[in-house]
A and B are shown apart, each in its own frame.
Chain A
Amino acid sequence: MKNYKVTADEESCHFSFQSVGVDLDGREHVINKVVELQRQTIVLDGVELNAYNLFLGDVLPDGRFSDSTRSNNGDLDIVLSTVAHCVVQFFSMHPDAIIYFQGSDNVRTRLYRQQLSKSENYKRVTDVVDVYGISDERGIFAYEPNIVCKAFLIRMKK
């Protein structure tokens, strides 16, 4: 699978790359993308989870960030493959970490779920990491393709 060229920081917690599409006039359309992971804590009745929350978004021309811009750049597969590459690089630096990943809204989370559920993607991902879903009905569960969930938890296989 093709990936975009990624620039990463020393800790492999900040990645940037350019998504390249074509506009209606056939001109190249470039979007600056970022993948960032920040360690955040959830405490439930004294049970503490430290997980790296993953942000995938655009850097807008005015410097703001967005994770809900519909760019329609026609390269979703390449973008998500690039994100997977970033995750692998992150785990190489943080092998015991847990990643938390959720779309900015239900539509986007469903889109990511559909992409993950494609058999070739699912096999490639789950060969390396364990994937869990979170839903109101089931709580945390070992993820299987096409099961509805609100967010994902990902960690390296032992």
Chain B
Amino acid sequence: MVKDKSRKKMYSSKEELWHIKHEQMRETFSKVDPEQLRKFINREI
């Protein structure tokens, strides 16, 4: 069954898309401890 329940979040360009995706990523990392991020990068987690 196909229903068109489109919601807002359309991107008219790749630039807009990646700008919003990057903002979303930054928000998600905003509460991450930098030391924990360092450990993740170094495969210590």
**Which residues of A are in contact with B by a Cβ distance under 8 Å?**
21-24, 29, 36, 38, 40, 42, 44-47, 49, 51, 53, 55, 57, 60, 64-74, 100, 102, 104-105, 132, 134, 136, 139-142, 150-151, 153, 158
Contact = CB atoms under 8 A, between A and B. Distances in A.
Given A49-B37, A66-B6, A151-B25, 7 more contacts: A22-B1, A22-B2, A40-B22, A47-B41, A49-B40, A65-B10, A66-B9
Contacts of A21: 2
Contacts, number: 105
5 contacts: A23-B1, A40-B18, A46-B34, A64-B11, A66-B9
Given A102-B24, A132-B40, A132-B45, A44 B29 contact: yes
A151 B2 contact: no
Majority DSSP secondary structure for residues of A touching B = strand
A24 B1 CA distance: 5
A151 B8 CA distance: 21
Contact of A100 (B25, B33, B34): B25
Contacts of A40: 18, 21-22, 25
A140 B5 contact: no
B31 to A, nearest CB: 5
A53 B21 contact: yes
B27 to A, nearest CB: 9
Nearest to A65: B11
B10 A140 contact: no
A21 B1 CA distance: 8
Interface in B1-45: 1-12, 14, 17-18, 21-22, 24-26, 28-29, 31-38, 40-41, 43, 45
